[in-house]
Amino acid sequence: MDIELLEKTASELVAPGKGILAADESNGTMSKRLAAAGVEPSSESRRSYRANLLDTAGYESAVGGVILFDETIRQNMDDGSLIAEALSSRGIHPGIKVDTGAKDLANHPGEKITEGLDGLRERCIEYFEMGARFAKWRAVIRISEGIPSPACISTNAHALARYAAICQEQGLVPIIEPEVLMDGSHDAQRCYDATAEILDATFAACAEQGIHIPGALLKPNMIIAGNDCPNQISREEVARMTIDCLINHVPQDLPGIVFLSGGQSDKDATAHLNLMNQMDVEHPWQLSYSYGRALQAHALTTWAKGGSESAAASQRMFAHRAGMNSLARSGDWGPDLEV
């Protein structure tokens, strides 16, 4: 384990003003989004969209890393350069999604276990040689009557820790992502309790597996009531409850927390991050972002219209959202800055 490399990469990913672009949608997911926007899905259309996005001028001031999918890390920019090399040349760390998806958890209806440990060491070796310097693995935790179960919590926590150990062994900073979904009618306190439970179990498993916490990042959900809950809390309450949960359940030597947007609107995701960074509460971590749709949604629908003008407009939209979240890193965002 190259501790110095891991700590350096982790700190650069969450350097002041910077966050992570999650562009690691699977081929199936990306194809569905392209089709919904009116674009015929194919390997080339997925490449073309992402190449345009990643060629945006100046976004490296707001983005320290980009998570790629297996197909994407093997593809080229429009000028023929490898996407990973193009990112590195701009001081952006290429990252890679390494899990193989969430599957049904045996004997536990409605719950999932993320798979992909088989062959992970060999994949990490290859991805490091291709330029990747960090990785992502997403666990999915659903709240409903009687769930999450102890089995779901323990199996996903163990998988996250084993993944993190293999990544660090091969020089990749692991992003540990135990996502408590917004789907459901649960209230914010139920989200808090489930999030606390999975965080405790995950970091206990990481301790057992010898994870070097200063060379890892956490990608958690914020504390938000379920989509179908009639009692939605304010942005200020989301920020307060999220910080309280993290202070009580996340190790202090973790260098950074990169929140997922998890279905929030673009502006909600930015506003919540901004409020957390404005709070007069001491905590040891960089509070940053690892957003996918919250950075790309409007950029994709604009690009899909076709033509050079739409491609340029798409880049402007992406640059704007990245810039807004960069400001939220220091609590300097405001709704008046949204155009």
Total Cβ atoms within 10 A of residue 78: 11
* Cross-strand pairs, 96: 68, 135
Question: What's this model's pTM, rounded to 2 decimal places?
Answer: 0.95
- What is the structure's pLDDT at 162? 98
Burial state string for 29-65 with b = 16 or more CB within 10 A and e = fewer than 16: ebbebbeebebebeeebbbbbbbbbbbbeebbebbbb
3-state secondary structure of 165: helix
* Cross-strand pairs, 95: 67, 134
Pull the structure tokens for residue 322: 């990245």
Residue 132, Ramachandran bin (φ over 0: left; ψ between -120 and 50: alpha; else beta): beta
Q: Is the dihedral of CA 151, 152, 158, 163 positive or negative?
A: positive
- What is the structure's pLDDT at 339? 75
What whole-number distance in Å separates Cα of residue 257 and Cα of residue 25? Answer: 21
* Architecture of the 3-337 domain: Alpha-Beta Barrel (3.20)
Q: Could you state, in order of their start, the residue ranges of all structural domains in the chain? A: 3-337
Tell me the CA distances in angstroms from 187 to 149, 179, 182, 183, 237, one per residue in order: 18, 16, 10, 11, 12
Active-site annotation holds for 112: no
Angle (CA) 262 266 272, round 5°: 75
Active-site annotation holds for 145: no
- DSSP letter for 91, please: T
Catalytic choice (12, 25, 111, 177): 177
Pull the structure tokens for residue 49: 């969209």
Per-residue tens of pLDDT for the chain, all 339 residues: 899 999 999 999 999 999 999 999 999 999 999 999 998 999 999 999 999 999 999 999 999 999 999 999 999 999 999 999 999 999 999 999 999 999 999 999 999 999 999 999 999 999 999 999 999 999 999 999 999 999 999 999 999 999 999 999 999 999 999 999 999 999 999 999 999 999 999 999 999 999 999 999 999 999 999 999 999 999 999 999 999 999 999 999 999 999 999 888 999 999 999 999 999 998 999 999 999 989 999 999 999 998 899 999 999 999 999 999 999 999 999 999 897
The 3-class SS string of 238-298 reads HHHHHHHHHHHHCCCCCCEEEECCCCCCHHHHHHHHHHHHHCCCCCCCEEEEEECHHHHHH
Catalytic choice (97, 112, 136, 219): 219
- DSSP letter for 184, please: S
